[in-house]
Structure 1
Amino acid sequence: MAGNSKRRGAIRQRSSGNPTAGSGGRVRRGLEGKGPTPRAEDRPYHKAHKRMQAQKRAGATSDTRRGGGSGRAGTGGRAGDKPEWIVGRNPVVETLRSGVPVKTVQIAERVDRDDRVREILRLAAETGTPLLEVTRLELDRITSGAVHQGVAVQVPPYDYADPDELLQDAIDSGHPALLVALDGVTDPRNLGAVVRSAAAFGAHGVVVPERRSAGMTAAAWKTSAGAAVRVPVARAVNLNRTLKAYQKAGLRIVGLAAEGEGDLAEVADLDGPVVLVAGSEGKGLSRLVRETCDDLARIPMHSGTESLNAGVAAGIALYEVAQQRARAATAE
């Protein structure tokens, strides 16, 4: 009968020692692992972690060194503003040449050192700008995959001026106040072009709305060619209310509009305190701003051209103001 056999080997003999059959879960627990591998930046002994700490220290040092003064770079600005990146060899060279405040210069490891890269290294050394060598993968990550050509510079958040202080500084300058206001201009390159023209023709500053408007981003810094260091940009909570305050202070508000009553050259008193207001190329000036303006003036153009963007229109208007002021000064 099965199980009663007396023959040798018919009964399984149990060995001495650990009688437990199977692993008892030990193998399964061993296969579970220790969770996801931490990022390289989170591992204290990894070079990526050390590099990140060095960048933070370099950024803090740069902010301390660049604080104050007439340059508008700093830790101020609207809540939520973050440093931005200017990438590419030519843009980085232009940025460093023009005096744009820069937090750090980042160069990829084993980058081909042509004349532009050598100039970047020289300018960074001359200005005392922190220089960091990173991997190309790291540069891809921090620039969000932009075509960086192995180089990038970090621009700090812009420190906006107060509209009332901007007005007071213009009045105290000893020259007739000249300001430019932008209504609904959302392209930062247009803002940068206006700032550059404002610096070229002696304007005291630029005013933009706080909402639905371009800000001093890396693109605006780049287009301004460093002029934003010299010309303050103010943010107004309510642009129309700010223009009315300027009006009460004695400034003439001149709006640039295709439907203006006359040409800009025909507007009187441009040699006195003036605010030039430019709108977006598509919508122009808003209704409330248009109603606030003392004059609506157009820029003469050939019939085939419908409109000019804010950067071009403001540049032409600033030139006309400069010409009228020069003639007035000669007549005296």
Structure 2
Amino acid sequence: MTAEEFAPAPPPAPAAGAATVDEPELAVGVGPWPGAWPTDPHYDPELLSGGDRRNVVDRYRYWRREAIVADLDRRRHGFHVAIENWQHDLNIGTVVRNANAFLAAEVHIVGLRRWNRRGAMVTDRYQHVRHHPTIEEFTAWAAAAALPVIGIDNLPGSRPMESERLPRECVLLFGQEGPGLSAAARAACAALFSIAQYGSTRSINAGVASGIAMHSWIREHAGPPPG
């Protein structure tokens, strides 16, 4: 049989004169505030006037960025997130976005200062991010803050995270995409946890791993999210 015979048949053409229905485009965010404006100072007059198309939950619609950050700061959780950045890891944006979603106290970039913010989807504006040029400076900060460093990597000797409890106050440390945690980072960890995998791939990327680890902390220590 020819390739054409194997090819699926094209969908039937609409009948002559038949109306075509376009899929409606979903509006992102909300338009201008309807009616009289609220007077609470956390509202932004520019957003009230022009609408709010930002990537924020509904309870923060029309709020000033500073007001959102202040409200988040009142509720931040006790865990921090750190990731090594020696080769401009493209996963860091996802890690920052996850940290915002699960309300981490802070994100720590260890190594190069610059990172690709595209994956963060602007959530870095609402998330505290700190830079440490070296592992030694990062571990000195963690020691001064009395925070144990918990490495997340599928390494020999790592304990299954599914059967362990994460400390209420800690730093979850992730390695560079590819090589994983560096030797210096592994040496700095109070414990090493692995994430169970069941397929053929050797590892999952740091962005995915960070979301799993953070949600594990949430399940152990956090209550329901605000309504």
- TM category, shorter: 0.5 to 0.7
Residue 97 of structure 2 corresponds to: 196
Residue 304 (structure 1) aligned with residue 200 (structure 2): yes
**1:19-30 paired onto structure 2 within 5 Å:** none
SS at match of 2:130: strand
* Aligned amino acid, residue 164 of structure 2: V
Residue 315 of structure 1 corresponds to: 211
Equivalent residue for 1:237, pick from 129, 133, 142 = 133
* Aligned amino acid, residue 126 of structure 1: G
Equivalent residue for 2:160, pick from 239, 263, 282 = 263
Q: How much identity, in percent, do the aligned residues show?
A: 27
Q: 1:174 to 1:312 in 2, by over 3 A?
A: closer
TM-score normalised per structure 1: 0.43
Q: More displaced, 283-292 or 182-191?
A: 182-191
TM-score normalised per structure 2: 0.60
The Cα of 1:303 is off from its aligned counterpart by: 4.6
Q: 1:252, 1:196 → 2: CA distance? A: 23
Is this contact kept in 2: 1:271–1:324, CA < 8 A?
no
Q: 2:133, 2:88 → 1: CA distance? A: 19
Q: Deviations over 1:124-169 (max 9, x none)?
A: x938xxxxxxxxxxxxxxxxxxxxxxxxxxxxxxxxxxxxxxxxx9
Is this contact kept in 2: 1:181–1:206, CA < 8 A?
yes
Is this contact kept in 2: 1:185–1:310, CA < 8 A?
no
Q: 1:195 to 1:175 in 2, by over 3 A?
A: closer
Q: 1:208, 1:311 → 2: CA distance? A: 14
Residue 126 of structure 1 corresponds to: 50
The Cα of 1:326 is off from its aligned counterpart by: 3.2
The Cα of 1:232 is off from its aligned counterpart by: 1.8
The Cα of 1:208 is off from its aligned counterpart by: 0.8
The Cα of 1:258 is off from its aligned counterpart by: 0.7
> What is the count of residue pairs matched by the alignment?
162
* Aligned amino acid, residue 229 of structure 1: R
* Aligned amino acid, residue 295 of structure 1: A
Residue 82 of structure 2 corresponds to: 181
Q: 1:174, 1:262 → 2: CA distance? A: 30
Larger-Rg structure: 1
